[in-house]
Amino acid sequence: MASLPDEFTDLDRFVTAGWALPGSAERWKRRVTSSTEEVKDLYETLLPRMDAIMTYLDRYLLADLPETDRPLLYLALAFMDVAPTWEVFQAADLPEPAFEIERMHMVERPFPWEERAW
Amino acid sequence: MGNPENPELPLRQWGKKYPDLGTHPLPHEPNISPAYFEREREKLFKRSWLLLCREDEIPNPGSYAVKQVEILETSVLLVRGDDGVVRAFHNSCRHRGNKVVMGSGEKTGESEGFVCGFHGFTYDLRGCLKSVVDEEDFYQLDKSRLSLKSINCETWRGFIFINRMDTPTETLEEALGDWAKNMEPFPFEDFELVDVYSSRVKCNWKIGLDAFQEGYHALTLHGKTAAGVFTPKDNPFSHLINVDLFPEGHRSASFPANSEFEPSPSVMLALKHAGNNIYAYEEAGEKRNLPGVNQSGAADWSFDINIVFPHVQLLASDAFYVTQHFWPVSVDETYWELRQYLPKSKTVSDRIAQQNSQAALRDVIREDMVTLENTQSVLRSGAISHMELNDSEILVRHSYQKVDERVNAPD
């Protein structure tokens, strides 16, 4: 199991819980299948750390980010994925009615280090 | 300017600019009539320049993309040739018509040519038939006359358009008219595609488009998510701050910004570390004021809606642009595609900020999208024969007028 850089090992439990996912679609799915408490814990724990996380990760340009720093990036992306909905609704997902997630086919931009095409 | 339809009813702001559009309720018949739909297919879609995608979806010589364009009853093979030229073909082998690139969905890839999987006819990147298996067994095969059937294809600012007519009655430049001249300087190339969503939605394509060409719904539908951004104190219903309707069918409108809107903590992080979010773009604390948008030059401007006639919505602001295609499938089915473009990510924080914008837009879009089938499913009952439209919904009115002009034009 990948762990986070020394400064951020207190956040390892979120990696263990499967929040550090490279794919935007799987990140989204992880969120909407989570309990309110789980999303609240992620949001409230990461919010005061995000400034430090973004400063730390910006030591490199995106294309040069070392593999060891990627789990921290994926965790930061999980924060940004839950944030807009959490900040408005204090929920893991939009209240109904909203267009069903299962019906939205999603294709995402690969990271520079990924081999796959679109 | 008086109201030509009813002198008792003074025209409101945009009605005054376009009095000929009228103020009457519009019939829903075009959204539920199979006969009207077939006329749209034959007289509008098969005779128009249609926006397909951006050129960078086929970036290299040999890059190709297959698009199933059901309203044209064909599969389109887009190829960038070895000469760098983008060409469009019917994805259909000249032998017996099988798809040269098989499959029912969208597809992209890189190739040196195309081999039909049925009998092995082989085409080069310019669509020329190069070889035939057991050629001697045919009677009068002239390979030089059996290139893939081409479809007219032109580009504007990196966007690929196709036209199904044998000889289009107008060039793409003529068809885009002054709308394109206004939009021309927008720096599309400074943004990158971050995600694509698609879905099949049980609604008429115009019901889909209509939900995305007015802002009257923001206060209700997006009351908690996005409305605060577009509803300044002095314009609480987010009335349009500019409207341009073009004779070729395109249209654009500008929305106000609420300068007192307080960004959420995650948006603040995005702004601090990357300088942008779909709700804001700052360069060293200054607004960007990109060219090609905000035609009236309003100080408190948030974004523009453009409709690239007939079926594509193009949203543009200082911080993003989005295209949404509403491809007609049948009178009550639409293939919807959304592409979101954000400022190019160089730093890691740029990418993190993108994720915030992606999630925020997705929420708003899911609120919009839920109305489409809810509307269509009751329209079919015929109980509501007409729609009432206010001045803020003038783009919707223009849309029906322009479609109607084409559908009812003499042959």
How near does any CA of chain A get to the CA of B106, in Å?
12
Question: CA–CA separation, B1 vs A101, rounded Å?
Answer: 47
Q: How confident is chain B (411 residues) per 10-residue block, as mean pLDDT?
A: 83 96 96 98 98 95 96 98 97 97 90 96 98 96 97 98 97 98 97 96 98 92 88 92 98 94 94 90 77 95 97 96 98 98 96 97 95 94 95 98 96 83
User: A98 and B356 in contact by Cβ < 8 A?
Assistant: no
**Nearest residue of A to residue B56 by CA position?**
A118
Please give the CATH topology (third level) of the domain spanning B47-169: Rieske Iron-sulfur Protein (2.102.10)
Does the beta carbon of A116 lie under 8 angstroms from any beta carbon of chain B?
no
Q: Is B379 helix (H, G, I), strand (E, B) or coil?
A: helix
Answer for the pair B390, B14: CB distance below 8 angstroms, yes or no.
Answer: no
The CA–CA distances, whole Å, from A118 to B64, B194, B195, B291 equal: 12, 10, 9, 30
Q: Is residue A109 part of a domain?
A: no
Range list for CATH 2.102.10.10 in chain B:
47-169
Q: How far is CA B305 from CA B214, B237, B334, B355, B397, in A?
A: 8, 17, 20, 22, 15
What average pLDDT does range A29-41 have in this prediction?
97
**A51 in contact with chain B, both atoms CB, cutoff 8 A:** yes
Contact B366 A118 (CB under 8 A): no
Task: Compute the average pLDDT of residues A48-64.
Answer: 98
Residue B340: per-residue pLDDT: 97
Instruction: With respect to residue A85, please indicate whether it lies within any of the assigned structural domains.
Output: yes
Using the 8-state DSSP alphabet, how is residue B297 labeled? -
Q: Which of B192, B193, B355 sits opposite A81 (nearest CB)?
A: B355
| DSSP reduced 3-state for B306 | strand
A103 touches chain B (CB under 8 A): yes
**Residues of B with CB below 8 A from A28's CB?**
359, 362
Taking the CB of residue B273, how many other CB atoms lie within 10 A of it? 21
Residue type, B313: Q
Which candidate from A54, A57, A81 shows the least CB-CB separation from B269? A54
CA dihedral (A51, B222, A27, A60) in degrees, to 10, reads: -30
Q: What is the pLDDT of residue A115?
A: 79
Total beta-carbon pairs less than 8 A apart between chain A and chain B: 121
Contact assignment for A87 to B264 by CB distance below 8 Å: yes
Average pLDDT of the residues in A102-109 = 93
Domain that holds residue A75: 6-103
Test A54 with B192 for CB contact under 8 angstroms.
Answer: no
pLDDT at position B267 is: 95
Residue A116 forms part of a structural domain: no
Asked, for residue A118, whether it belongs to a domain, the answer is: no
- Is residue B249 within 8 A of residue B175, CB to CB? The reply is no
- % of chain A at pLDDT higher than 70: 98
Longest dimension (CA), chain A: 43
Q: What are the chain A neighbours of B355 within 8 Å (beta carbons)?
A: 24, 77, 80-81
> For position B286, what pLDDT does the model report?
72
Domain with CATH 3.90.380.10 in chain B: 179-407
Q: Is residue A92 part of a domain?
A: yes
> What residue has token string 């996380």?
A53
Query: What pLDDT does B106 receive?
Result: 85
Task: Rounding to the nearest 10 degrees, give the CA dihedral for residues B302, B308, B309, B310.
Answer: -90
Determine the pLDDT at residue B1. Answer: 59
Please give, one letter per residue, the 3-state secondary structure of B393-410.
HHHHHHHHHHHHHHHCCC
CA distances (Å), B31 to each of A11, B208, B210, in order? 53, 10, 11
CB-nearest partner of A99 from B193, B355, B369: B369
Q: How many domains does chain A have?
A: 1
Test mutation, B57, B111, B262, B266, chain A, max A CBs within 10 A: B266
Domain B179-407 has CATH 3.40.50.1370: no
- Nearest CA to A105 out of A20, A29, A39, A35 is that of A29
CB A39 within 8 A of CB A17: no
Quote the pLDDT of residue B105: 82
A83 interface with B at CB cutoff 8 Å: yes
| CB-based contact A107 B195, cutoff 8 Å | yes
What are the structure tokens assigned to B176, written together? Answer: 């885009």
Rounded to 5°, the CA angle A16-A18-A20 comes to 100
Task: Look at A84 and B356 and tell me if their CB atoms are within 8 Å.
Answer: yes
Under a CB-based contact definition with an 8 Å cutoff, are residues B318 and B289 in contact? yes
